[in-house]
Structure 1
Amino acid sequence: MMHETLDDRYFDIAFDIDSLCETIHSEVSRHFEAPKTMDGLDVLYGIRGHVAGAVAAIQGVETAAVIAHLEDVRAMEIDEEPPA
């Protein structure tokens, strides 16, 4: 029987957060214009940071670890190596 590791749990959480944030960003962008000092990625990263903190608190895991795994998910999506 295979047990899910904490690392797997972080990765699953990060993957779900990334998907959720893409949806939030898309919906918000339809209704609001980003401030002139921010580009679309700044807004998306801001959303991701806040959602990651909230989800980490709910799941009882470390926010920094969730964010690190979130970066791994993003790196996989753009075919880059995860940050060191």
Structure 2
Amino acid sequence: MPRPRKPQPNDAHPILNLEKLLDIHGVMEYLSVSRQTVYMLIDQEGLPVVRVGAQLRFIPSSVQRWLLSRQGTA
């Protein structure tokens, strides 16, 4: 059985990628939804969020993966 490959410095990782984080307004615009809907998506639908102190921040690639994983659900 082959050994697992060691992570390499250039391997993609959302945090190490140093993407510019979105704030609540950025996610509202990206998803074309209201503030209330963003909070509902966090609480009930698993929209990924990072808390920085009292602030909410969103990693764009995580939001995109979450959105793509929901394709075809209604």
Question: TM-score by structure 1 length?
Answer: 0.28
More strand by share: 2
Point out which structure has higher relative CO (alpha carbons under 8 A, 6+ apart): 1
More helix by share: 1
User: Could you say which structure has the larger radius of gyration?
Assistant: 2
